[in-house]
Amino acid sequence: MKVKKRVIIYSLLAIIIIVSLLSFTAGNTPPEREITYRKFVEDVKAGKIDRVYLEDRDKLRGIYKNGDVFITDNPRKPSLKEELLLQGVKVEEKNGSFTAENILSFVLLIGLFVGIIYFLDRKSSRQTQNSMAKLSSVNVDDNSTVEVDFSSVAGNEEAKESVKELVDFIKNPKKYTKYGARLPRGIIFHGPPGTGKTLMAKALAGEAQVPFYAVSGSDFVQVYVGLGAGRIRDLFKKARQSGKCVIFIDEIDALGKKRSGGIDGGNDERDQTLNALLSEMSGFDENEGIVVIAATNRLDVLDDALLRPGRFDRHIEIGLPDVNGRLQILKLHSKNKPLDATVDLKELAEQTVFFSGAMLENLLNEAAILAAKRGSGTIKKSDIDKAFYTVVAGSEKKDRSSLIEKDKYITAYHEAGHALATRLLAPENRVTKVTIIPSTKGAGGFSMNIPPDRMYHSKRDMEKQIKICLAGRAAEELVFGRDGITTGASNDLEKATQIIVSLVKRFGMNNKAGMLNYDILYGSSEGIGDDIIIECRKQMEELYNSTKKVLKENLSLLHAIAQSLLEKETLDEQQLNEIIFAKAV
């Protein structure tokens, strides 16, 4: 846009110059008439000529008293001037087209253009200066009046406790420095995305009632070397001016990743930026009340230089919420939402294992949107169920008619197989939800089981896991026959293969393969030897057959669950347990 404007201005200028020069020459030199020297002498004698210019060696130019301009040969006679003067003709020894006024106006015109060009040039250089200044200054999210406090953060009690300590450090730094305590300058919040790291940093600023400056690590990694470092200095300058504050750098890994040290020599710009950050951090006094918080999803990728004492030496983990945390977050975010009495948040918290705080918030928000669209006054359980799939696996397919009945039937048995196998083979695992509603991401159904947390996994556990994976295919075979099996099991087979390969190759749990780590023997890139493949296949077949046997023995249960799934599409833990219990008695 700016470039276009300049092109237009310069073209206009060029046109003005050309036009004015043309009119200048055209206006000041009327057309010349060539006359013979004899005619010239006659006209001089006749007193018709006003003036003659003697500038050219070959030609004489002059003006008649009537204003006409003439040109004739110059006789180069030394006495010509005197003769002309004696005849009353004015004689000038320079070119007629450059009279004093002409020169003056020409000079003025040139002066005007020079002035305009100078003005434009200054303006554009000022613009460049401004844009350079803008580039090297960072766009901080300066939230001086933070209204978030610790009551806005639910769950994550341990992290909250650690952060609470910092409030006092910021408020009364002198209290600690008097005892010689070194206050933390840099803190790293690490954990998966959406777990509330930004929220926690904001709450810290809110509680301490200091300004909050939020930037992202990627803002500092620029194409031009040195620009990122400039931005860091600019950020700290701004922060210092405000006195006590919390600086939050999201995605610190963008600039603080471990230096590769490879042949490429690393990234100059990133190194400079990182060094600028470190020197700024060691530059401020410990009792200034400035705290820098950096957030990352992965602590292990950060450069050691960042983590040394006096830099980012405090690390606080902000992990995914547990069931209690999820319940607290759900409660917090449903405060301003009209939930129907049928909605049980506790149950929802149990069904949302591995959900982050952001996902939970999103879940309630999507449900609220669905309820608002329906206009029924409250958010129903069905709204939350629908929102669940939007959040987990893209949005629920709207056009249910497109679901061929047969597909629905297959999915029901497939998912019932997984659910039943889990309940029968691994009752310690919980099945919180089984469904046959497909999502746009293509997952046929959805069943979730929660294995209890363990440090070690036994061979039995791993085999159970494989069996649960294979149970979908086994159920299909039992109900639809050997040739009726479908592609629906592809993800399951992938997972089962992963487990069995590591069981045989890495954990020494197969008698034939023995207690050798085949990755070390062959290198993981070497692939798998034929003997290992044969062992894996054999073991997988045994596990599959045993899964099929268990399901066959409980075929009536499989039918009951599948039938119920066809009716209700989604079963929660309680409904599933009811079916199993009803059949058992």
Q: Does 361 bind ligand ADP (CB under 6 A)?
A: yes
SS3 state of residue 187: strand
Pick out residues in 76-135 that bind ligand ADP (CB under 6 A): none
Number of residues that bind ligand ADP (CB under 6 A): 17
Residue 357 in tokens: 């705080």
Residue 459 CB, shortest distance to ligand ADP, in Å, is 37
Q: What Cα–Cα distance (Å) separates residue 288 from each residue in 142, 181, 373? A: 19, 14, 51
Pick out residues in 247-306 that bind ligand ADP (CB under 6 A): 295
Residue 328 CB, shortest distance to ligand ADP, in Å, is 7
Instruction: Return d(Cα 315, Cα 293) in angstroms, integer.
Output: 10
Residue 369 CB, shortest distance to ligand ADP, in Å, is 16
Residue 296 CB neighbours (<10 A): 25
Residue 96 or 191 having the CB closest to ligand ADP: 191
The bridge status of strand 212-216 relative to strand 245-250 is parallel
Residue 199 CB, shortest distance to ligand ADP, in Å, is 4
Which of these ranges, 257-265, 337-345, 355-363, 406-414, lies near ligand ADP under the rule CB under 6 A?
355-363
Residue 361 or 385 having the CB closest to ligand ADP: 361
Pick out residues in 153-172 that bind ligand ADP (CB under 6 A): 153-156
Residue 244 CB, shortest distance to ligand ADP, in Å, is 22
The bridge status of strand 245-250 relative to strand 290-296 is parallel
Residue 1 CB, shortest distance to ligand ADP, in Å, is 35
Which of these ranges, 64-72, 191-199, 372-380, 388-396, lies near ligand ADP under the rule CB under 6 A?
191-199
β partners of residue 291 = 246
Instruction: Return d(Cα 180, Cα 286) in angstroms, integer.
Output: 11
Of 72, 62, 69, 68, which Cα lies nearest the Cα of 38? Answer: 72
- Buried b / exposed e over 392-427, threshold 16 CB at 10 Å, is bbeebeeeeeeeeeeebbbbbbbbbbbbbbbbbbbe
Q: Which residue is nearest to ligand ADP (CB)?
A: 357
Q: Does 246 bind ligand ADP (CB under 6 A)?
A: no
**Known catalytic residue at 415:** yes
Residue 351 CB, shortest distance to ligand ADP, in Å, is 18
Residue 246 CB, shortest distance to ligand ADP, in Å, is 14
Q: Does 186 bind ligand ADP (CB under 6 A)?
A: no
Helix and strand element counts for the chain (H, E): 22, 14
The bridge status of strand 446-450 relative to strand 312-317 is unpaired
Q: Does 206 bind ligand ADP (CB under 6 A)?
A: no
Residue 475 in tokens: 């159920």
Q: Does 62 bind ligand ADP (CB under 6 A)?
A: no
Which of these ranges, 60-68, 197-205, 238-246, 494-502, lies near ligand ADP under the rule CB under 6 A?
197-205
Quickly list DSSP for 386-446.
HHHHHHHHSPBPS-GGGS-HHHHHHHHHHHHHHHHHHHHH-TTSEEEEEE---BTT----E
Q: Does 198 bind ligand ADP (CB under 6 A)?
A: yes
Long-range contacts of the stretch 233-242 (C-beta < 8 A, 24+): 233/276, 233/280, 234/136, 234/137, 234/138, 235/138, 235/140, 236/280, 236/283, 236/284, 238/140, 238/142, 238/213, 239/211, 239/213, 239/290, 240/284, 240/288, 240/290, 242/144, 242/210, 242/211
> According to CB under 6 A, which one of 71, 109, 307, 358 is a site residue for ligand ADP?
358
Ranges of beta strands (E only) in 286-395 are 290-296, 312-317
Cβ within 8 Å of residue 66, ≥6 positions away: 48
> According to CB under 6 A, which one of 30, 88, 193, 243 is a site residue for ligand ADP?
193
Q: Does 61 bind ligand ADP (CB under 6 A)?
A: no
Active-site entry in 415, 463, 477, 535: 415
Residue 194 or 451 having the CB closest to ligand ADP: 194
Q: Does 570 bind ligand ADP (CB under 6 A)?
A: no
Residue 315 CB, shortest distance to ligand ADP, in Å, is 15
Residue 548 in tokens: 């099929």
Residue 195 or 334 having the CB closest to ligand ADP: 195
> According to CB under 6 A, which one of 84, 89, 140, 199 is a site residue for ligand ADP?
199
Q: Does 357 bind ligand ADP (CB under 6 A)?
A: yes
Q: Does 326 bind ligand ADP (CB under 6 A)?
A: no
Residue 320 CB, shortest distance to ligand ADP, in Å, is 10
**Strand order of the sheet with strand 446-450?**
446-450, 430-435, 570-572
Residue 321 burial by Cβ neighbours in a 10 Å radius (0-12, 13-18, 19+): buried
Residue 97 in tokens: 């087209």
> According to CB under 6 A, which one of 185, 190, 197, 418 is a site residue for ligand ADP?
197
Residue 28 or 152 having the CB closest to ligand ADP: 152
Phi, psi of 358 (to 5 degrees): -65, -40
> According to CB under 6 A, which one of 329, 349, 367, 571 is a site residue for ligand ADP?
329
Residue 70 or 312 having the CB closest to ligand ADP: 312
Residue 271 or 350 having the CB closest to ligand ADP: 350
Which sequence positions are flagged as catalytic?
Answer: 415
Q: Which residues bind ligand ADP (CB under 6 A)?
A: 153-156, 193-199, 295, 329, 332, 357-358, 361
